[in-house]
């Protein structure tokens, strides 16, 4: 638990609201949709008129409509709870849409065992969208999405690269039924302004709807911090972490000796390029301060320790995984009809447009506006450099003048993402902090990372930190779990977190910040709050009460939401939920060097005895001895225990044994 840490907290005193109901004020607010690369950065500050706020009551208030916020909302409304959801950009979907990183950072098992059923549904719908425009009409839709359209962009960074705009439309389709039946209320282009908190309980969030120039006061039983920068934590007056914690606090081997609160990772405004001469595309003018960023524009990537690799623009050079162009390519035109996609489209998110400015987390709207404007200038400067100055692969000169930005791809006027891709933000002080030693390969000798008794999800990605004040840091990790305690704020009774704001450290955030993990922890939070409301309990009580925790874990598994790592137990398979519970509760022995659950393997006599012991099922010593004397265990051998086996006969296999055990638990 995080109590073992000497907590390094940051309280922005000037940003803390009084702990009473807030009235709408005329304080300048930052409208992120008004940020421009040129002109006065403070033009993005809006001073709303003071006036009454519209009061709205929901069971759950989610501030932030990124992937975690959306998946939390979907899980909560599944239980018919009412949800209020706000998002400061025009699009829901966060890093996959409004932040432009339309290239999922998936683990290699994502399509079978490494993601939730709802995340797989989202991915499948993206592929189905592109299958409509497939060039090879001899393929069925199913064949196309399993074959050439499995990765529309054919990128080499991941298994699924696509365009942000279609993904946002698909997310809205997933939310639409709940919007229509009024279980979900959604406000885009809306930002939190202040929080009404009474001691350990948040009561409401005051928000401003820029599009309709309207104040909202959102009342809830529970609140979810799902913003990209941890805005809700800061506004609530609760303690939080930011930047790199000191080694004395987290005891992590690679933490700095002295805390570095300004050492948050870089952020990036991606854009999409295409060889497109239509009116939908446009060239970029050289932005202000171009020369100040020029040294960062390069095809060379520094992997640390003196390892410098030079990528070809279109050319895949020997020893490298591919070219710069294909790295995050959104659309491989060769897979589609020319009428739909005449040329490739590539999303550009490269080290050259990674921007560093700790003022983004300052809490000062003016400083934040300048930080965002400078980041836009750096990205547009990179686009201009590509068009005019990048060395050509054929050594005939510089620049690719035919490459233009496509603004419609990002739903913005300048073609940059509506908000930068945020890698790191403020983080809650949780009940349980995830530390480097929990998942790094040097500290976890088995096939899995640290096993948490309160696991509510899984993920897998290396610890990958795009540093600003420290050396870039990458470390291999083991397939990890998401502990419920890391999602619960320690100092509030009704606040949970998702995405980059969960209880990681600066180091472990580098592994937990990616698309599928954010979706998984968001879904876990939504399901936890739905469970709390349905059973008149609280997330804190669930986390500390084994029986309630087991019920929550089972409800997640029954949704097709893995809570334990296997590589051979597919989401949606017959005994999926039972095998998930078997792993989480330690019912079945596992190999130390494999992720196999082996659901079709026969149980051994020792397996049965140990499974009963793991779940406190009393077994007579004589019976245990007689069982161990057998070569294999049949269902008939369990009759002396007094449990019903029904019509089951023959040798017992692990998956069916887990399912049978699951049936016995409520009878104990």
pLDDT in tens, 234-266: 999 999 999 999 999 999 999 999 999 999 999
The residue with tokens 């909302």 is 73
The answer to which of 15-29, 215-229, 333-347, 477-491 has the lowest mean pLDDT is 15-29
pLDDT computed for residue 23 by the predictor: 62
- Residue 20's SS3 state is coil
Provide φ and ψ at 348, rounded to 5°.
Answer: -105, 110
Band (282; pLDDT cuts 50, 70, 90): confident
The pLDDT of 157-175, averaged and rounded, is 98
Q: What is the pLDDT of residues 351-393, one digit of tens each?
A: 999 999 999 999 999 999 999 999 999 999 999 999 999 999 9
Encode pLDDT of 597-616 as tens digits: 999 999 998 888 888 888 77
Please tell me the predicted confidence (pLDDT) of residue 666.
Answer: 58
55 near 217, Cβ under 8 Å? yes
Q: Can you name the residues that pair with 206 across neighbouring β-strands?
A: 194, 217
Query: Residue 386: its pLDDT value, please?
Result: 98
Token pair of 651, please? 């040798």
Report the percent of the chain where pLDDT is more than 90. Answer: 83
Can you tell me the distance from the alpha carbon of 9 to that of 14, in angstroms, rounded to the nearest whole number?
15
Q: Which has more confidence, 619 or 90? A: 90
The span from the first CA to the last CA of the chain, in angstroms, equals 30
Q: pLDDT band for position 2 (50/70/90)?
A: very low
The C-alpha atoms of residue 196 and residue 237 are separated, in whole angstroms, by 10
Residue 9 above 60 pLDDT?
no
Mean pLDDT taken over the chain: 93
C-alpha 235/C-alpha 495 separation (Å) is 13
Which two tokens mark 217? Answer: 């006061």
Query: Cα separation of 56 and 522, whole Å?
Result: 23
Say whether pLDDT at 174 is over 70. Answer: yes
Distance CA 328, CA 348 (A): 7
Q: What is the DSSP letter of 190?
A: E
Residue 243: the pLDDT is 96
Q: Give residue 84's pLDDT.
A: 98
* Residues 282, 273: Cα–Cα separation, whole Å: 10
Which CA distances in Å does 227 have to 9, 209, 363? 19, 16, 14
**pTM reported for the whole predicted model:** 0.94
The proportion of the chain whose per-residue pLDDT surpasses 70, expressed as a percent, equals 94
The alpha carbons of the chain give a radius of gyration, in whole angstroms, of 26
Whole-Å CA distances, 231 to 63, 205, 306, 410: 9, 11, 38, 23
Residue recorded with tokens 């035109």: 333
User: Band of the pLDDT at 631, cuts 50, 70, 90?
Assistant: confident
Confidence of residue 20 (pLDDT cuts 50, 70, 90): very low
- The answer to whether residues 371 and 44 touch, using CB atoms and an 8 Å cutoff, is no
Q: Which residues pair with 225 in a beta bridge?
A: 63, 497
Task: Report which of residues 374 and 280 the model is more confident about.
Answer: 374
Structure tokens at 225: 């911090």
Q: Looking at residues 403-412, what average pLDDT do you find?
A: 96
pLDDT at residue 17 in the model: 40
Q: What is the pLDDT of residue 667?
A: 42
Pairing type for strands 495-497 and 214-225 reads: parallel
- Which spans in 193-312 are helix H? 231-236, 247-250, 290-293
pLDDT at position 11: 36
The packing angle between helices 621-628 and 605-614, to 10°, is 150
Position 293 pLDDT exceeds 60 = yes
Q: Which residues neighbour 363 within 8 Å (Cβ) at sequence distance 6 or greater?
A: 12, 14, 15, 234
**193 with 235: CB under 8 angstroms?**
yes
| CB within 8 Å of 562: residues ≥ 6 apart | 113, 114, 115, 116, 457, 458, 571, 576, 580
Please choose, from the candidates 304, 407, 290, 308, the residue with its C-alpha nearest in 3D space to the C-alpha of residue 353. 290
| Apex 422 CA angle, 420 and 425, nearest 5 | 135
Alpha helices in 434-566, H assignment, sequence order: 436-439, 509-512, 515-535, 539-544, 546-558
Using an 8 Å Cβ cutoff, are 470 and 493 in contact? no
Question: Minimal CA–CA distance to 384: which of 95, 35, 37?
Answer: 37
Residue 668 pLDDT > 60: no
* Residue at token pair 């797989």: 120
Q: Which residue has the tokens 């524009």?
A: 297
Window from 13-22, 179-188, 392-401 with minimum mean pLDDT:
13-22
Residue 165 parent element (H or E): helix 164-180
CA distance 666 to 660: 12
Which are the contacts of 300, defined by CB distance < 8 A and separation ≥ 6?
308, 309, 310, 311
Size of the chain, expressed as the number of residues it contains = 668
Which residue's entry shows tokens 């606040």? 495
pLDDT: which is higher, 494 or 27: 494
Q: Are 287 and 380 in contact (CB under 8 A)?
A: yes
Residue among 432, 431, 382 at smallest CA distance from 405: 382
**Cβ-contact 611, 624 below 8 angstroms:** no
Band (pLDDT 50/70/90 cuts) for residue 401 is very high
What would the two tokens of residue 307 be? 């390892």
588 with 582: CB under 8 angstroms? yes
pLDDT band at 629 (very low <50, low <70, confident <90, very high): confident
Cβ-in-10-Å burial (0-12, 13-18, 19+) of 46 comes to middle
Q: Are 394 and 69 in contact (CB under 8 A)?
A: no
pLDDT of residue 12: 34
d(CA 287, CA 430): 42
Q: Alpha-carbon distance 94 to 92, whole Å?
A: 6
pLDDT tens digits for range 96-144: 999 999 999 999 999 999 999 999 999 999 999 999 999 999 999 999 9
Confidence of residue 25 (pLDDT cuts 50, 70, 90): low
Report the distance separating Cα 434 and Cα 86, nearest Å: 28
User: Taking a C-beta distance cutoff of 8 angstroms, is the pair 432, 486 a contact?
Assistant: yes
Distance CA 413, CA 302 (A): 32
Which of 372, 377, 371, 398 minimizes the C-alpha distance to 386? Answer: 398
Q: Could you tell me the pLDDT band of residue 78, with boundaries at 50, 70 and 90?
A: confident
Look at residue 26 and tell me whether its pLDDT is greater than 80. no
């Amino acid at each position: 638990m995080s109590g073992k840490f000497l907590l390094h907290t940051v309280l922005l005193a000037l940003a803390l609201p009084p702990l009473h109901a807030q009235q709408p004020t005329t304080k300048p607010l930052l409208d992120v949709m008004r940020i421009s690369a040129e002109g006065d950065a403070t033009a993005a500050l809006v001073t709303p008129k003071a006036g009454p706020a519209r009061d709205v009551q929901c069971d759950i208030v989610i501030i932030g409509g990124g992937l975690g916020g959306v998946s939390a909302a979907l899980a909560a409304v599944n239980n018919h709870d009412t949800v209020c959801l706000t998002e400061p950009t025009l699009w829901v979907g966060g890093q996959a849409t409004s932040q432009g990183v339309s290239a999922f950072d998936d683990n290699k098992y994502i399509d079978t065992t490494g993601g939730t059923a709802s995340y797989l549904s989202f991915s499948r719908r993206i592929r189905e969208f592109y299958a409509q425009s497939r060039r090879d009409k001899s393929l069925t839709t199913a064949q196309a999405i399993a074959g050439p359209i499995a990765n529309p962009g054919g990128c080499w960074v991941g298994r699924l690269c696509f365009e942000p705009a279609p993904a946002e439309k698909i997310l809205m389709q997933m939310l639409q039924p709940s919007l229509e039946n009024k279980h979900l209320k959604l406000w885009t282009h809306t930002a939190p302004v202040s929080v009404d908190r009474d001691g350990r309980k948040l009561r409401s969030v005051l928000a401003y709807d820029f599009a309709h120039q309207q104040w909202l006061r959102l009342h809830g039983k529970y609140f979810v911090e799902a913003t990209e920068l941890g805005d809700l934590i800061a506004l609530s007056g609760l303690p939080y972490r930011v930047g790199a914690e000191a080694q004395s606090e987290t005891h992590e081997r690679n933490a700095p000796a002295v805390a570095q609160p300004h050492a948050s990772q870089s952020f990036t405004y991606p854009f999409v390029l295409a060889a497109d001469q239509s009116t939908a595309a446009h060239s970029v003018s050289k932005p202000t301060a171009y020369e100040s960023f020029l040294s960062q524009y390069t095809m060379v990537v520094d992997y640390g320790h003196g390892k410098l690799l030079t990528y070809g623009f279109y050319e895949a050079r020997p020893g490298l995984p591919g070219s710069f162009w294909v790295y995050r390519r959104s659309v491989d035109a060769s897979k589609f009809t020319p009428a739909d996609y005449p040329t490739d489209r590539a999303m550009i998110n490269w080290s050259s447009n990674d921007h560093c400015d700790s003022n983004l987390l300052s809490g000062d709207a003016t400083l934040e506006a300048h930080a965002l404007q400078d980041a836009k200038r750096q990205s547009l400067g990179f686009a201009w450099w590509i068009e005019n100055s990048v060395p050509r692969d054929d050594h005939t000169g510089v620049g690719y003048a035919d490459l233009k930005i496509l603004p419609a791809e990002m739903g913005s006027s300048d073609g940059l993402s509506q908000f930068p891709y945020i890698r790191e933000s403020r983080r809650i002080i949780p009940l349980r902090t995830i530390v480097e030693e929990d998942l790094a390969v040097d500290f976890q000798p088995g096939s899995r990372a640290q096993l948490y008794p309160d696991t509510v999800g899984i993920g897998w990605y290396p610890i990958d930190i795009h540093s600003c004040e420290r050396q870039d840091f990458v470390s291999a990790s083991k397939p990890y779990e998401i502990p419920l305690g890391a999602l619960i704020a320690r100092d509030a009774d009704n606040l949970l977190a998702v995405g980059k704001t969960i209880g990681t450290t600066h180091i472990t955030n580098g592994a937990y910040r990616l698309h599928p993990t954010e979706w998984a922890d968001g879904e876990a939070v939504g399901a936890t709050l739905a469970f709390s409301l349905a059973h008149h309990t609280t997330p804190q009580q669930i986390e500390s009460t084994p029986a309630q925790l087991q019920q929550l874990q089972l409800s997640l598994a029954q949704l097709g939401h893995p809570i334990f790592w296997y590589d051979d137990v597919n989401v949606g398979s017959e005994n999926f939920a039972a095998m998930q519970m078997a792993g989480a509760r330690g019912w079945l022995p596992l190999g130390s060097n494999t992720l196999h659950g082996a659901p079709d393997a026969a149980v051994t006599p020792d397996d049965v005895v140990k499974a009963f012991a793991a779940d406190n099922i009393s077994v007579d010593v004589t019976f245990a001895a007689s069982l161990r004397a057998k070569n294999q265990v049949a269902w008939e051998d369990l009759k002396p225990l007094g449990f019903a086996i029904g019509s089951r006969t023959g040798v017992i296999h692990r998956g069916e044994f887990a399912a049978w055990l699951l049936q016995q638990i409520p009878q104990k």
